Structure 1
Amino acid sequence: MRVAGWLLLMLSLALSLPTGATLRQAPEPELRSLLQQAVSEADSFEDRFDAEVWLLDMSTRLRRYVPDDLERLTLLRLVHREARRAELSPQLVLALIHAESHFDRFAISSVGAQGMMQVMPFWKAELGRPQDNLTDVATNLRYGCTILSYYLKRENGNMTRALARYNGSLGQTGYPAKVIGFWQDHWYVRD
């Protein structure tokens, strides 16, 4: 058995042991196959082992919001790729999506923001790209991650101010606290 396959099997078994009040189950064979495919297609990780560990961990956490295995793993690969491209933590991006849309790619806010990261449509006109579809996950993540990265740089790394700018609520702390809370409670991973 290859080392990476063995490590994935051991990680799956470890995750199936009781932790606290919950019991995690090892991934089903179909999920394992999809995960192996996702790992082989993941190009934003430093190595294959990092990809396997992160995708399995995040897939387990995300299952309640995105039940379809293929859709979930595809989303996670895209989140990781776009977050890394924009020099963001993929887990922060997952927390922002959790706060903004609860992982609904067709979400539309009361002010017209669209998609998982709730990007305002005026950005398409600003970029001269009216044909872009903000409910397309890859497009939405590219826009959203780029915008958040810009605001983090503009605010010299001040997460609260950057998140407030992203949400259009600069000067208020409710939205940043919500995203940071999701990050710490649901998506945080020690590096």
Structure 2
Amino acid sequence: MDDLSRRQCLLRAAALGSVGWLGTGLVHAGGQLEEPLADSVRTALSSAIANSAPPVPEFTDTEKRLAYLRWMSAMSERLKKRKPDFQTRIEFLQTVWYETRRAGLDTTMVMGLIQVESAFRKFAISRVGARGYMQIMPFWSRLIGDGDPGKLFHMQTNIRFGCVILRHYLDRERGDTFMALGRYNGSRGRAEYPNAVYSAARNWVPPAA
């Protein structure tokens, strides 16, 4: 996310205040819509999913490493009630941090999306069959995975699929996060879902340096 998109995201969230996914009563569970993919797009997405590099953070300088450690500490504290087990919590956060950067996404926005989609529940299933943390529709396993939708409950697999899919939608929408989030939810052009994600993202803004 570029600086302008980030500012737009935070401004929308600030305007919404404390109204969130569960508080509006207006947003309903959705799911990505299956659409034809060009062969080149399918190949690129499949390649992005298949690269199974472990989520090990790498840093080019000390300041970036310190920023990461500050982020981990702050997010771990905020997530404690939802994920009481320390090791599970750290592995989840490290994976989100790694996969969002791998896909070129804003980590704060993705944390908000996960809160809205699954409330950080690994085995969440929506009424339309979307699965896991980022509520991936099973057809994606057939389109760009190995055809096994059961793997969508694996933490890193689910988060990688979600980040790659969201990156795809952002590219299709020329960087417009509002429209891309609508695509992610299957409600493109409607405000409820993007606004819910923007609002939830306020809970995961990193601490100031």
Structure-to-structure mapping, 1:152-167, within 5 angstroms: 152-167=170-185
Structure-to-structure mapping, 1:172-191, within 5 angstroms: 172-184=190-202, 186-189=203-206
2:153 counterpart SS class: coil
Q: 1:85 to 1:113 in 2, by over 3 A?
A: same
Consecutive unaligned residues of structure 1, counting only runs of 5 or more, are: 1-40
Answer whether contact 1:105 1:135 (CA < 8 A) is retained.
yes
CA deviation vs aligned residue, 1:88-145 (integer Å, no higher than 9, x gap): 1111111100000000010000000000000000001112512350010100001000
Deviates further, 115-124 or 144-153? 144-153
Structure-to-structure mapping, 1:54-93, within 5 angstroms: 54-93=71-110
Separation (CA, whole Å) in 1 of partners of 2:123 and 2:141: 17
One-letter identity of the residue aligned with 1:83: T
Consecutive unaligned residues of structure 2, counting only runs of 5 or more, are: 1-54
- CA drift of 1:85 comes to 0.3
Q: What percentage of residue pairs aligned between the two structures are identical?
A: 42
Q: Which has the higher contact order (CA 8 A, sep 6+)?
A: 2
1:64 counterpart SS class: coil
Q: 1:114 to 1:160 in 2, by over 3 A?
A: same
- Scaled by the length of structure 2, what TM-score is found? 0.68
Structure exhibiting the larger radius of gyration computed from Cα positions: 1
The reply on whether 1:43 has 2:57 as its aligned counterpart is: yes
Structure-to-structure mapping, 1:1-191, within 5 angstroms: 42-46=56-60, 47-131=64-148, 133-184=151-202, 186-189=203-206
CA deviation vs aligned residue, 1:53-112 (integer Å, no higher than 9, x gap): 110011111112111110000000000000000001111111100000000010000000
Separation (CA, whole Å) in 2 of partners of 1:71 and 1:149: 26
Separation (CA, whole Å) in 2 of partners of 1:70 and 1:84: 21
CA deviation vs aligned residue, 1:121-176 (integer Å, no higher than 9, x gap): 00011125123500101000010000111111211221111100000001211010
One-letter identity of the residue aligned with 1:114: R
Q: 1:73 to 1:128 in 2, by over 3 A?
A: closer
Separation (CA, whole Å) in 1 of partners of 2:102 and 2:58: 8
Q: Pairwise CA RMSD of aligned residues?
A: 1.7
Tell me the equivalent position of 2:27.
none
1:178 counterpart SS class: helix
1:116 counterpart SS class: coil
1:117 counterpart SS class: coil
- CA drift of 1:48 comes to 2.6
Answer whether contact 1:45 1:51 (CA < 8 A) is retained.
no
One-letter identity of the residue aligned with 2:69: E
